[in-house]
Amino acid sequence: MAKTLLVTGSSGLIGSEVCSYFARELGYAVHGLDNNQRAVFFGTPGDTRWNQRRLEGELRGFRHHELDIRDRAGVLDLVCSLRPSVIVHTAAQPSHDRAAAIPFDDFDTNAAGTLNVLEAARQACPESPFVHMSTNKVYGDAPNRIALRELSTRWDFADPAYAEGIPETFTIDQSTHSLFGASKLAADVLAQEYGRYFGMPTCCLRGGCLTGPNHSGVELHGFLSYLVRCNLEGREYKIMGYKGKQVRDNIHSLDVARFIAAFVGAPRAGEVYNLGGGKANSVSIIEAFKIAESLTGKPQVFSLGEKNRIGDHICYYSDLRKIRNHFPSWNITQSLTDTMRQIVDACRGRPSV
């Protein structure tokens, strides 16, 4: 009997990559839960129906379920009927900025929606690995307290204790998170608690910038995808503070899917991992402009604002040592430049919005 995977947010970047990887590489029967809520949050540019159609066309036996994770009874019915071997929860309201305008939608989706999926799993398949896609925003703006040094094109940590990046032991308390960060932190702690209290094999993946060619990037979410589309279309990219030198580590969705597969193969209860590209795949906005220009041959049009986003990180990249210690066979396989090249090719192949 084929192993069964349930992915929430299956039409999104990470959800769709996980669906494809587990179906093609691991032979899972894949069920996707999605209701294109990203188009509601972000309008037409955020629409992910194209990705749903791609999965339905490319993955044999893929089954789409049109369902909102806020529908508690619907989620419970689906999970009880499937009793999946693995659950990967990627559905979310993903925008730091958008959350302030829709606080109830944000919290009901990110926190209550996660509780709905966790409790359904506890009732139907408590032995099945449960992977929750969390975010580095659970740390709030606390990383900004680390001593920094300003270089010509980026900020970087001056404290040698953070030479490898932010570890999982970093504080999540007494900082400004944004409402998005707060709702995701609630979900993060819930996923940990279902692992620790109920003994379920859960983990939280605190992602940095998750990216790849299947991202429907918009101004409020999807850094590299949106930046590349701006470059190709000659649109102005608006930098929000920090001189455009703010740094993020970027990880390709394929490497995220590969790590999830590694965790499913050797699950632990209530674990937390900072899953990003690490220092090697870190980049500032103005550095990303240069890479995009080298790949497209087009100049990047941008404006530089002095006001930063509330709770935004000046410098953030993930310390990957815990992940590599627990799962030594996993590593980053997609470089930053290769990832951006794939995004350029994908954006050229999709219509403008």
Query: For the chain, which domains are there?
Result: 4-349 (3.40.50.720)
Looking up tokens 């040592």 gives 321
* 14 and 39 Cβ atoms separated by less than 8 Å: no
Point out the residues of the chain with pLDDT beneath 70.
1, 220, 350-353
Cα dist. 71→112, 116, 120, 224, 274 in Å? Answer: 10, 8, 11, 32, 29
Predicted local confidence at residue 340, as pLDDT: 97
CA-wise closest residue to 165 among 343, 5, 324, 339:
324
* 109 and 35 Cβ atoms separated by less than 8 Å: no
Predicted local confidence at residue 220, as pLDDT: 67
- Residue 297 class from Cβ within 10 Å (0-12 exposed, 13-18 middle, 19+ buried)? exposed
Predicted local confidence at residue 223, as pLDDT: 87
Question: With the CA atoms of 90, 94, 96 and 102 taken in that order, what torsion angle do they form, in degrees rounded to the nearest 10?
Answer: -120
Predicted local confidence at residue 97, as pLDDT: 83
Is beta strand 202-207 parallel, antiparallel or unpaired with respect to 247-252?
unpaired
Give the Cα separation of 207 and 130 in Å (integer). 16
* Phi, psi (deg, nearest 5) at residue 7: -120, 120
Give the Cα separation of 125 and 6 in Å (integer). 12
Predicted local confidence at residue 352, as pLDDT: 56
Pull the structure tokens for residue 314: 């000046």
* 137 and 177 Cβ atoms separated by less than 8 Å: yes
Give the Cα separation of 99 and 2 in Å (integer). 39
Predicted local confidence at residue 311, as pLDDT: 82
CA-wise closest residue to 252 among 320, 137, 332:
332
- The tens digit of pLDDT for each residue in 279-320 reads 999 999 999 999 999 999 999 999 999 899 888 899 999 999
Predicted local confidence at residue 1, as pLDDT: 65
DSSP result, 217-282: -BTTB-HHHHHHHHHHHTPPEEEESGGG--EEEEEEHHHHHHHHHHHHHS--SSEEEEES-TGGGE
* Phi, psi (deg, nearest 5) at residue 148: -120, 160
